[in-house]
Structure 1
Amino acid sequence: MNLFDWRRIAVDESVTVKEALTVLDKEALQIVLVTDKTGCLKGTLTDGDVRRSLLKGGGIDGPVVEAMNSTPIAGIDSQDKTAWKRKMLEKSIRHLPIVNAEGVMVGLYYDKAEIQKRLNPVVLMLGGLGTRLRPLTESIPKPMLRVGDKPILETIVTHIAEQGFVNFYFCINYLGEQIRSYFGDGSQWGINIEYVEEEERRGTAGALSLLPEKPELPFIVMNGDLLTKVNLSSLLDFHAEHHNIATACVREYAQQVPYGVVEIEGAHVTQLVEKPVYRYFVNAGIYALSPEAMEKVPEQAFYDMPTLIDEVLTEKGNVGGFPITEYWMDIGQMPDFEQAQADYEVHFQKRNANPFS
C-alpha cells in the first residue's frame, strides 16, 4: 500500500475528457481525481469510465464531469490504514481517495497489484512491406525502424510483456530475418517467441492459419506498426464479459466539415449547421479473438481481418468494439513516423522521479 501525492493525478472539474486522459496516460496510475478549485473531490475517472462514456455516445472533447464516476468511494483521513484497506477489499477497488471531514483531498491510498502472468497468446503481424515509408523501409522492415532509442517492435513487445503476457507469435515475411536475429527466442524480454513465416503475403488474418497449434484461450492479434499503451488485459476482460467471438479495438476520430451543412427534406431546408464536427470510431488494428474464430480462417489463402469480422456478423456472432483511451499511433506514413518520434519521450520513456508523498 502506498500514499500517492494526489495533486499529480488531479484535474479541475472544468476540463475535458481529453485533458483528463493526458494526465491518466502521463502518470500511469489508472485513475484521475476530479476536484473543484478548493480541492474538494467531485469524482474519479478511469479508462473504463471513458470507454463506457464513448460507447454511450460521449466524446473525448466533452466535459469530464459527464464521463466521470460522480459517486466515488473515499476514505477519511481520521481513519487508520487498516480501515482504508478494509474498505478497498469490501468494494474490490485498488485506489481509495482520502479526504478530510469537508471532502477536501488529502491523498490517494492504493494497492500496487502484482502483475499476473497471462498465457493468452499474442500474435503480431510483422510481414508488411512498409511501402509508404520508403526509402526508410527499403532495407529495414517497418517494425524495426527506430522510434526513440529502440525499434518500434521492441517498444511494443516491452509494453505487452510488462502486462504479463509471455507467449508471442511473430508472423514475418518481408526482411523477416532481421526481426528473428534481433529478438531470438524472446528470453531477453522474459517471453517466448515462435516465428510464423509467410512465404507469400496472406493479409491481416490469413497468417493465423499457419500457427503451429490452434489457441485454446482467447488471443490477441495486433499489427506490428502500432505504438500504443492500450491495456490488453482490459481488452480480454471486455471480450469475455460480452461473450464475443471477436473484439476490435476502435479509436474515436473527429472530422470537421469546413462548410455549413444544409439538411433538406424535399424542396425545404430543415436545418443549417455551420461547420459541424462528425465523430466516428475507426479500426485501431488490435483484436481479441476467441478460439472458435479460427474456424473461419481459410488454409493457404489471402484473408483480411475485416472479412473475418464480416463473417462473424453474418452468422449473428458477437463482435465487440473496445474504445482505446490510451496513447495510440499507427505509423503508416512519414508524418506519423515523425510524430511518433516527438511523442516517444512523453509516453514511453521511463520516469525516475519518486511519485510518493
Structure 2
Amino acid sequence: MMIIKSPEPIWSKATLNVNSTIGEVVQNLDQLGIKIVLVTKDSGELEGTISDGDIRRALLRGLNLKSSITSVIHRNALVVPPDLERALVRQLMIANKIQQIPVVDDKNCVVGMHLWDEVVISPIRDNIIIIMAGGKGKRMRPFTESCPKPLLLISGKPMLEHIINRAKQEGFNKFILAIQYLGHMIEEYFGDGSLFGVNITYLREDSPLGTAGALSLLDPIPEKPFLVTNGDVITDIRYGELLDFHERHGAVATMAVRLHEWQHPFGVVHTQGIEITGFEEKPVSLSHINAGVYALNPEALDVLSSNESCDMPALFESLKGQRKLTIAYPMHEPWLDVGRPDDFERAQINLDALKI
C-alpha cells in the first residue's frame, strides 16, 4: 500500500494539536485542500479528525475562528494499520463514503494517510521489474520447441505481455527481460517496449543462469529496491504492495509465498515404535510455497558470482548465511505457475476467473 513518504508528508502538514483553534483548522484546510485535519495529543496519539463539513456546522452553531476545536473533533474516526492492502482501503472508503483515512501504528500514533486519488490511481514507480524469461521450458514441450515459453499465448496474448500489463497498471514502466533460449523472438516481439507504453531492456545470457544468476549481469546495478518475477507466473499479485511491504520491514530480500494445501491420498497411521498411537484419515497438509515473485535490495546482488548459475532459493540461503534479513510476503491473490501443459490449459480457461 502506497503511503506518502516525502520529507514533509501531507499527513504531517495536516496534523494539528488538540489545543488548536477553529481558525487554525480553517487555514490548514485552505492551504492543503484535502478537506481533513488530523488532531493529535501532545503524545502524538490521534485524538480524532475534523473535516471542512465539521467546521461549517460548528460556525452555524455560533462558534467563531477563535473558538477551541474541542467540541468539533470527530473522535471515532475510521483508521487503518500501515500494512492494510490498497484494495481493502478502497473498499472502506467506498463503504463509508469518505476520501481520507488516517494510518496509525499500534500506539495509535499517526504514521500516514490514504487519499482517494492515490488509492484509485496507482502512483508512478521508477523501480525496475526484472522478468526471468530465458528458460527452455522443457516440461512444456512440444509447445516450446519453436517458441519460448513466455511467448506462449494465453487469451490471445503472450503470458509475458500479461505480466507487463499487470505491472504497468500499478505504475511500473521500467522492465528488464532476462533472455536466453530463443531470446531473439522475445526481443523481436517486445523491442524497446515503446509499443506497449513501457521501457524494456535486456539481459542476454550466453548459457542458462537459473532464476537468480542472470542478475549478476546487471550493469548498472539498480539504485533502488527492485522486483524480480519468473516469466511463467500468471498472478493478480499487487506488485506495488509487495515492494512497500519489503521496504517497510527493512528486508534485503523478500519472497512472495502462497499457502499450498495438499491432501494425503491414504489414511495415515501414527506409531511410536511398534505401538499404534493414532490415526488420521487422509490428512491435509498446509505449507508455504515459493510463488516466483521477489523484492530485492541492490546489496542482495553482492552474494552472486558473475555469470554463474544460481537459483533464487540459493540466493536467499546465501543472504541468510550472512545474517541479512530475508522475509516472506504471504499472498492470497490468484496465482498460477504455468510449468506444465495442463497448467497451460488451465490458464486458458481460468484467466478471466483469475481477474488478471
Q: Residue type matched to 1:168 in 2?
A: F
Matched, 1:250 2:257: yes
User: Does the CA-based 8 Å contact 1:141-1:176 persist in structure 2?
Assistant: yes
Relative CO higher for 1 or 2, CA cutoff 8 Å, sep ≥ 6?
A: 1
Contact 2:210 2:309 in 1 (8 A): yes
TM-score (norm 1): 0.68
Q: Which amino acid aligns with 1:327?
A: P
Q: Is the 8 A contact 2:132 2:211 kept in 1?
A: yes
Report deviation, 1:113.
2.7
Q: How does 1:11-22 map to 2 (within 5 A)?
A: none
The match for 2:149 among 142, 146, 153 is 142
Q: 1:313 and 1:124, CA in 2 relative to 1: closer, same or farther beyond 3 A?
A: same
1:206 aligns with 2:213: yes
Query: CA RMSD, aligned part only?
Result: 2.8
Identify which of 232, 240, 247 aligns with 1:233: 240
Determine the structure 2 residue equivalent to 1:115: 122
Q: Which amino acid aligns with 2:256?
A: C
Per the alignment, in what secondary structure is the counterpart of residue 174 of structure 1?
coil
* Residue 348 of structure 2 corresponds to residue 341 of structure 1: yes
Partner Cα separation in structure 2 for residue 328 and residue 150 of structure 1: 17
SS at match of 1:345: coil
Match of 1:161 among 151, 168, 172: 168
Q: 2:159–2:234: 8 Å Cα contact kept in structure 1? A: yes
| 8 A contact 2:234–2:335 mirrored in 1 | yes
What are the within-5 Å matches in structure 2 for residues 271-350 of structure 1? 271-348=278-355
Larger radius of gyration: 2
**In the alignment, which of 136, 139, 154 is matched to residue 129 of structure 1?**
136
Structure 2 residues without counterparts, runs of 5 or longer: 1-79, 105-112
Distance 1:188 1:135 in 2: 30
Shift, 1:200, TM fit: 1.0
Per-residue CA distance 1:66-101 (angstroms, 9 max, x = gap) = xx99xx978998xxx6xx346x35874568xxxxxx
Residue 223 of structure 2 corresponds to: 216
Secondary structure (helix, strand or coil) at the match of 1:139 reads coil
Separation (CA, whole Å) in 2 of partners of 1:274 and 1:177: 52
Choose 332-341 or 302-311, whichever is displaced more: 302-311
Corresponding residue number in structure 2 for 1:10: none
Identity level (%): 39
Instruction: Report the Cα distance in structure 2 between the residues aligned to 1:244 and 1:111, rounded to whole angstroms.
Output: 25
Cα 1:270–1:249 change in 2 (3 A) is same
Instruction: Indicate yes or no: 2:188 matched with 1:181.
Output: yes
* 1:261–1:276 CA contact under 8 A, matched in 2: yes
Counterpart CA distance in 2 for 1:251 and 1:153 is 21
Contact kept, 8 Å, 2:93 with 2:99, in 1: the verdict is no
Structure 1: give runs of 5+ residues left out of the alignment. Answer: 1-44, 51-67, 96-109, 350-357
TM-score by length of structure 2 reads 0.68
CA contact (8 A) 2:252 2:299 kept: yes
Q: CA deviation at 1:265?
A: 2.9
